[in-house]
Amino acid sequence: MLKQLECSRAIAEVIARCRPEVVCAYPITPQTHIVEGLSELVRDGTLAPCEYINVESETSALSVALGASAAGARAYTATASQGLLHMAEVVYNVSGLGLPVVMTLGNRAVGAPINIWNDHSDAMALKDAGWIQLFARDAQEAVDLHVLAFRLAEELSCPVMVCVDGFVLTHSVEPLDVPAQDDVDAFLPPYRPVQVLDPTDPVSIGAMVGPEAFTEVRYLAHHKQLQALERIPQLAADFRARFGRDSGALLHGYRTGDADTIVVAMGSVTGTIEVAIDELRDAGLAVGAVALCAFRPFPLAALAGALGGAQRVVVVERNLAPGLGGAMASNVRMALRGQPIPVYTAIAGLGGRPVTRASLRRLIEAAHADAVDDLTFVDLDNDAIDRELARWDERRRSGPSAENMLRDARRAR
C-alpha cells in the first residue's frame, strides 16, 4: 500500500518489520532519520523485543552489532561518510568473522573539506572490506533492499551494506510501499546463526590465524561473494513473486538491447540517466543504461552480458579515486576484459553537486561521438581550476585552495 513517506522513515519501518533484536545508533547526517525512526518504533513497542543502544561512536555502533550478532541476535546499524571510516576496522572485522550484520549506509562524501552531501566516496573506501554492497537506485528499492539484505546476509553469514544516496534518497518524500509484516515474515525466516556464543556449546570465535591458514580464510570470504552472485538474482525473483515489484538484482538494464553506447551508474542518478536516455533515444541515438545494484560482489558476467553489444561504455560515478580516476570504472573494465571497446569515466555529483539531465545528455552525446576524454569531470568549473593552478604555478604555497576558489567564485559573480 503506497503512502507518502520520507524514505528514511520508510526504511525505519521496514527495518522494524525485519525484526532486528539489537539496533545500535550513532548519529551522523544523513542517516539520522532512520535511527531516529527506529528509536521511536522501539520505544512505542512496535519493534519488540529489541534493544536500542545509543552508543558513543561508530566504532562502538558496529562493535555492538558485532557482539549481538555473534551472540545470535539479528543486528542492525546505520552510518555514513566519516562514520563508516571511523568504524572501518570493525567493518573488516564483522565480515572477517562472518557475522550477518545489515547496515544502511547513507552515502555521503568524505572530508576534508567537510561536506555532508551525497557521493559514493564512503562506500568505495570500504568496497573491499568483505561486505556485500547493494546500491539502491530509488527510494522504493532503498526500502525493499533491506528485506532482501537480511535474508542474503543470514543465508551466507556475511554482512550486507545497503547503500542509499544521502539526502537525494534518504530525505526524499514520495509514495512508498513499506512491505507488510506478514510478507516480510514469510520472506525472512528467523535468524539461525552459523556460529553462536552459547554457554552450553562453547566455542572461541576470532582466533588469530597465521600464514598457514589466512589465505584459505580469505579465499572462503571470496567464495561467499561468489555464492552471493548466484543468490542475489534468486532472491530478487523471490522478492518479485511475493511483493510484486523488481527490487534488488545484480544490475538493472535499461534500453540496452541495441544500444551502441551504454551508461553504467549506481544509485539515485539512475532515474535521471534513464530520462536522459529516453530523450536521446527520441533524438535517434542508440543509447542505453545499466544500473549496478550489486557492487560487491561485482557482477562481472552479468555486466559483460549487459554490455556485450555496445561499442562504448560510459561510467558515471559519484566518487573519485585521485590519481587514477574512478573505482567503479576500473571494475567495469574488468567485466569487459578482452573486448576492444572504450570505457569512459565520468566523475559526477561529488559532494552533493546535482547531476542534471542536461549535463548527462551532453556527456552521453559527446561519448556517443567518442568526443570525450577517458576521464571526464562533469560540470567542472574550469575557470576556478585554471585560476588556482595559475596561483600554484606562482607560488608553491598559496593558501587553502577551497577558500581561494570560493573567493574567485564570488568575484566572478
Query: Interface with other proteins includes 56 (CB under 8 A)?
Result: yes
Which residues between 313 and 342 bind other proteins (CB under 8 A)? none
Nearer to other proteins, 24 or 262 (CB): 24
Least CB distance to other proteins at residue 80 (A): 19
* Matching residue, cell 518489520: 17
Which residues between 140 and 199 bind other proteins (CB under 8 A)? 157, 194-199
Query: Interface with other proteins includes 59 (CB under 8 A)?
Result: yes
The partner residues of 160 in beta bridges, in order of sequence, read 102, 132
Could you tell me the three cell numbers for 78?
546505520
Interacting span for other proteins (CB under 8 A) from 167-175, 200-208, 292-300, 361-369: 200-208
Specify the DSSP element, H or E, that contains 6: strand 2-6
Query: Interface with other proteins includes 65 (CB under 8 A)?
Result: yes
SS3 175: strand
- How does DSSP classify residue 113? S
Specify the DSSP element, H or E, that contains 7: helix 7-17
Specify the DSSP element, H or E, that contains 375: strand 375-377
Applying CB under 8 A, among 32, 36, 46, 67 the residue interacting with other proteins is 67
Residue 65 CA neighbour count, 13 Å, CB half? 31
Query: Whose CA is closest to 171, among 115, 126, 107, 87?
Result: 107
Query: Interface with other proteins includes 51 (CB under 8 A)?
Result: yes
Nearer to other proteins, 199 or 323 (CB): 199
SS3 296: strand
Burial 134-164 (b: 16+ CB within 10 A, else e): bbbbbbbbbbbbbbbbbbbbbbbbbbbbbbb
Interacting span for other proteins (CB under 8 A) from 172-180, 202-210, 350-358, 373-381: 202-210
The partner residues of 107 in beta bridges, in order of sequence, read 165
Least CB distance to other proteins at residue 195 (A): 5
Q: How far is CA 100 from CA 73, 160, 269, in A?
A: 10, 7, 28
Query: Interface with other proteins includes 70 (CB under 8 A)?
Result: yes
Applying CB under 8 A, among 36, 40, 89, 155 the residue interacting with other proteins is 89
SS3 385: helix
Interacting span for other proteins (CB under 8 A) from 128-136, 212-220, 285-293, 298-306: 212-220
Applying CB under 8 A, among 98, 159, 166, 326 the residue interacting with other proteins is 98
Give me the count of residues in the chain. 413
| Residues 86/122, Cβ–Cβ less than 8 Å | no
| Residues 33/27, Cβ–Cβ less than 8 Å | no
Nearer to other proteins, 29 or 157 (CB): 157
Interacting span for other proteins (CB under 8 A) from 94-102, 360-368, 376-384, 405-413: 94-102
Give the type of residue at 244.
G
Query: Whose CA is closest to 297, among 231, 245, 218?
Result: 231
Query: Interface with other proteins includes 206 (CB under 8 A)?
Result: yes
Applying CB under 8 A, among 29, 46, 97, 233 the residue interacting with other proteins is 97
Site size toward other proteins (CB under 8 A) is 54
Interacting span for other proteins (CB under 8 A) from 106-114, 210-218, 346-354, 381-389: 210-218
DSSP 121-156: HHHHHTTTSS-EEEE-SSHHHHHHHHHHHHHHHHHH
Least CB distance to other proteins at residue 126 (A): 15
Which residues between 3 and 22 bind other proteins (CB under 8 A)? 21-22
Nearer to other proteins, 60 or 345 (CB): 60
> Which segments of 44-80 does DSSP mark as H helices, in order?
58-70
Which residues between 366 and 405 bind other proteins (CB under 8 A)? none
Query: Interface with other proteins includes 207 (CB under 8 A)?
Result: yes
Applying CB under 8 A, among 182, 216, 230, 374 the residue interacting with other proteins is 216
Distance separating alpha carbons of residues 236 and 257, to the nearest angstrom: 21
Query: Interface with other proteins includes 279 (CB under 8 A)?
Result: no
Nearer to other proteins, 89 or 278 (CB): 89
User: Which residues here bind other proteins, judged by CB under 8 A?
Assistant: 21-22, 24, 49-51, 53-57, 59-61, 63-73, 75, 89-90, 93, 96-98, 157, 194-199, 201-210, 213-214, 216-217, 220
